[in-house]
């Protein structure tokens, strides 16, 4: 049996190149993993996590279930390309085994089996396989057609804006678009000359056979197979440098994630898996308010990851992000976009400075005494009504409270962290942790979602329960310690990014509002809520731009026609208050006003 023909050379070269390139990347990335990560892999290798990862690979990398849920047509496009191609390979493999038995057949023998069949004198066709392979080819071709369609009409597939691609992506994309039509032509020509094949290539072959004289068919035959093989080869060569590297990156990423590896505030080798797992699907573009409200089109996560991957990340792109998490919430690959953005910033300016914040030594401005600590947060000192309301509530329930920063405190450190100054931030973390420990509190209530998130994610406060004031209030009401009057007023609630998407606190503030009045939801709420635009994470956009973001978001709150707009973050409060004439209050104020006598 012979399984070699000159036209297979592009394919063979491409495949070897692809294999070497991907293997090199994988080996380098894994070898450079820090010790903690390698230990995690060793520890979790034989665990249920591995089984869960296998299932997730099938569900997400092949079937693309998450994209399906978002938009069925878009999901079908991804699925037909990925799963269809995968089945073509698997079924093709089985087909050759059925025909030839378990023999050592080189790779090109499987891939171009239709070419080698007549060459090796195999005449008896198995209709089941012929039809099946044609059906699969049709499935993939549908995917390709949809991909074309998406280029011209992305809106129909639930995407208002599609990704702008770089050169390598364009090469790979063009090659990919040609692979399957080329296969269709080559196999149809084979059918025209040698008979056989299923409903698609067979029928098309018969048609061509009647249309064209045999001499033309034989002249076209080799070039057609050459074209198919070259498209495959070109695609494979471009693949490791293009977005299509995501195919070979998402799979190990899923396993590593199940083995509990995570990106951190400092860059590490694991980040490579996350960065290159991005398929540049562009789903993260639409939710970005910088794009929608400000017309900034170069900073969305897809472009940030692309720039970082090709080492062309500018300071501006790294910094121009609200870290609102709206993109992370929809990313079908589940990339930790915020953490990656932070550690990209860290690399740029994390210069430790001895003596920095030396003034923190032996500083203690706290007052009061109690097991419950109240940390208003820097921003809350600009919204004194929040602090006064909390004080009234503490008094009403007779809570003994230690006030951490009533007379000026130290920042929680998250703003520094968001700017990439993680080393400096650690000094704040150490200072505040020590302060809390020294005053032996067991509960820590904060009015600022930014502080809340840093206490939860960046502090080690074992033995101290950290609550946002909305959670604390919810608990007081539920436990009957605080009785409130149910009033007539209606409130439209804004989910702060750091509280909602950031800390998954959605229900408590809503329950609190419902206890005192009527709750109204804006068009975008909960996981889908809009950012107020004043996020500390963005140091690029100016005042007027912040205001534009705030205005659109506030308009949705106004549209509910509620008596007042309620939020639970001092920063959001400020941003909303300056873009509306409606009443804006914090949830603590709402409760304090409605304490039952």
Partner 1 sequence: MSTLNFGYGINRPRAIDLDNNDLRKSNAIIAEMPELQACIGCGSCTASCTAGAITNFNFRKLHTAVRRGEYRGVYEELSKCMLCGKCRLVCPRGINTRGLVMLIKRKLGDF
Q: Which residues bind partner 1 (CB under 8 A)?
A: 348-349, 351, 353, 355-357, 359, 363, 365, 378-379, 381-382, 408-411, 413, 415-416, 419, 421, 424, 428, 534, 536, 539-544, 571, 574
Residue 337 beta carbon to ligand SF4: minimum distance, rounded to whole angstroms: 6
Closer residue to partner 1, CB minimum distance, 379 or 585: 379
495 alpha carbon, distance to own chain's centre: 20
Classify 518 as helix, strand or coil: strand
d(CA 402, CA 5): 82
Dihedral (CA of 434, 439, 442, 448) sign: negative
Q: Which among partner 1, ligand SF4, none contacts residue 302 (Cβ within 5 to 8 A by kind)?
A: ligand SF4
Structure tokens at 507: 């229900």
Residue 247 beta carbon to ligand SF4: minimum distance, rounded to whole angstroms: 12
Q: Which among partner 1, ligand SF4, none contacts residue 82 (Cβ within 5 to 8 A by kind)?
A: none
Output helix, strand, coil percentages for the chain, rounded to the nearest 5: 60, 5, 35
Question: How far lies 557's CA from each of 11, 27, 93, 243, 447, in Å?
Answer: 57, 51, 58, 39, 21
Closer residue to ligand SF4, CB minimum distance, 327 or 576: 327
Residue 547 beta carbon to ligand SF4: minimum distance, rounded to whole angstroms: 16
Closer residue to partner 1, CB minimum distance, 318 or 337: 318
Give contact residues for ligand SF4 (rule: CB under 6 A): 278-284, 287-288, 290, 300-302, 305, 321-327, 331, 333, 335
Half-sphere exposure (CA, 13 Å, Cβ side) for 26?
16
Q: Which among ligand SF4, partner 1, none contacts residue 408 (Cβ within 5 to 8 A by kind)?
A: partner 1
d(CA 395, CA 181): 75
Is residue 469 within 8 Å of residue 400, measured between CB atoms?
no
Residue 351 beta carbon to partner 1: minimum distance, rounded to whole angstroms: 5
Residue 416 beta carbon to ligand SF4: minimum distance, rounded to whole angstroms: 9
Entry field: residues in the chain: 597
Closer residue to ligand SF4, CB minimum distance, 288 or 566: 288
Residue 541 beta carbon to partner 1: minimum distance, rounded to whole angstroms: 8
Closer residue to ligand SF4, CB minimum distance, 213 or 408: 408
Closer residue to partner 1, CB minimum distance, 32 or 347: 347
Q: Which among partner 1, ligand SF4, none contacts residue 306 (Cβ within 5 to 8 A by kind)?
A: none
Q: Which among partner 1, ligand SF4, none contacts residue 359 (Cβ within 5 to 8 A by kind)?
A: partner 1
Residue 401 beta carbon to partner 1: minimum distance, rounded to whole angstroms: 21
d(CA 279, CA 389): 48
Residue 556 beta carbon to partner 1: minimum distance, rounded to whole angstroms: 22
Closer residue to ligand SF4, CB minimum distance, 302 or 576: 302
Structure tokens at 275: 């960065």
Q: Which among partner 1, ligand SF4, none contacts residue 517 (Cβ within 5 to 8 A by kind)?
A: none
Strand 490-493's sheet: what is its strand order? Answer: 518-520, 490-493, 564-567, 583-586
Q: What angle do CA 288, 425, 435 make, to 5 degrees?
A: 125
Dihedral (CA of 219, 221, 222, 223) sign: positive
Is residue 138 within 8 Å of residue 130, measured between CB atoms?
no
Q: Which among partner 1, ligand SF4, none contacts residue 325 (Cβ within 5 to 8 A by kind)?
A: ligand SF4
């Amino acid at each position: 049996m012979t399984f070699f023909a000159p036209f297979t050379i592009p394919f063979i070269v491409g495949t070897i190149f692809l294999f070497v390139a991907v293997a090199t990347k994988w080996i380098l990335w894994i070898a450079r993993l820090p010790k903690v990560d390698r230990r995690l892999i060793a520890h979790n290798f034989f665990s249920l996590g591995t089984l869960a990862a296998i299932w997730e690979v099938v569900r997400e990398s092949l079937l693309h279930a998450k994209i399906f849920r978002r938009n069925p047509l878009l999901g079908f496009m991804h699925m037909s390309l990925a799963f269809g191609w995968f089945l073509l390979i698997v079924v093709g493999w089985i087909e050759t085994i059925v025909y030839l038995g378990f023999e050592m057949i080189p790779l090109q023998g499987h891939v171009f089996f239709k070419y080698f069949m007549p060459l090796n004198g195999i005449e008896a066709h198995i209709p089941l396989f012929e039809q099946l392979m044609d059906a699969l080819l049709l499935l993939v071709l549908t995917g390709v057609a949809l991909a074309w369609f998406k280029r011209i009409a992305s809106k129909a597939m639930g995407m208002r804006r599609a990704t702008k691609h770089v050169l390598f992506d364009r090469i790979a994309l063009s090659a990919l678009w040609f692979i399957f039509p080329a296969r269709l032509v080559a196999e149809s020509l084979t059918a025209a000359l040698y008979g056989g094949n299923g409903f698609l290539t067979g029928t098309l072959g018969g048609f061509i056979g009647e249309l064209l004289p045999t001499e033309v068919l034989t002249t076209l035959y080799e070039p057609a197979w050459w074209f198919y093989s070259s498209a495959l080869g070109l695609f494979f060569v471009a693949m490791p440098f293009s977005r299509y590297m995501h195919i070979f990156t998402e799979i190990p990423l899923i396993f590593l994630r199940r083995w509990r590896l995570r990106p951190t505030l400092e860059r590490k080798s694991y980040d490579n898996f996350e960065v290159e797992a991005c398929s540049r699907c562009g789903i993260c573009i639409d939710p970005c308010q910088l794009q929608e409200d400000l017309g900034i089109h170069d900073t969305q996560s897809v472009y940030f990851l692309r720039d970082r991957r090709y080492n062309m990340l500018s300071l501006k792109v790294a910094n121009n992000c609200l870290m609102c998490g709206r993109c992370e919430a929809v990313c079908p690959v589940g990339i930790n976009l915020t953490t990656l953005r932070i550690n990209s910033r860290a690399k740029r300016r994390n210069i430790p400075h001895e003596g920095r914040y030396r003034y923190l030594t032996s500083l203690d401005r706290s007052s009061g005494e109690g097991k419950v600590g109240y940390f208003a947060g820097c921003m809350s000192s600009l919204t004194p009504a929040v602090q006064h309301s909390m004080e009234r509530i503490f008094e009403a329930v007779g809570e003994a409270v230690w006030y951490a920063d009533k007379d000026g405190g130290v920042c929680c450190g998250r703003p520094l962290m968001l700017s990439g100054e993680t080393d400096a931030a650690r000094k704040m973390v150490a200072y505040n942790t020590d302060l809390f420990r020294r005053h032996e509190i067991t509960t820590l209530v904060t009015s600022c979602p930014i502080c809340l998130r840093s206490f939860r994610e960046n502090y080690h406060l074992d033995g101290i329960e950290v609550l946002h004031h909305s959670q604390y209030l919810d608990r007081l009401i539920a436990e009957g310690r605080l009785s409130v009057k149910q009033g007539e007023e209606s409130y439209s609630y804004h989910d702060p990014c750091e509280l909602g998407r950031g800390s998954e606190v959605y229900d408590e503030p809503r329950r609190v509002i419902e206890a005192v009045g009527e709750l109204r939801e804006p068009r975008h709420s909960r996981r889908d809520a809009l950012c107020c635009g004043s996020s500390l994470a963005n140091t690029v956009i100016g005042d007027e731009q912040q205001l534009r973001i705030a205005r659109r978001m506030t308009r949705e709150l106004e549209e509910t026609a509620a008596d007042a707009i309620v939020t639970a973050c001092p920063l959001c409060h400020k941003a909303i208050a300056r873009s509306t004439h409606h009443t804006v209050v914090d949830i603590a104020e709402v409760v304090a006003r409605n304490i039952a006598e």
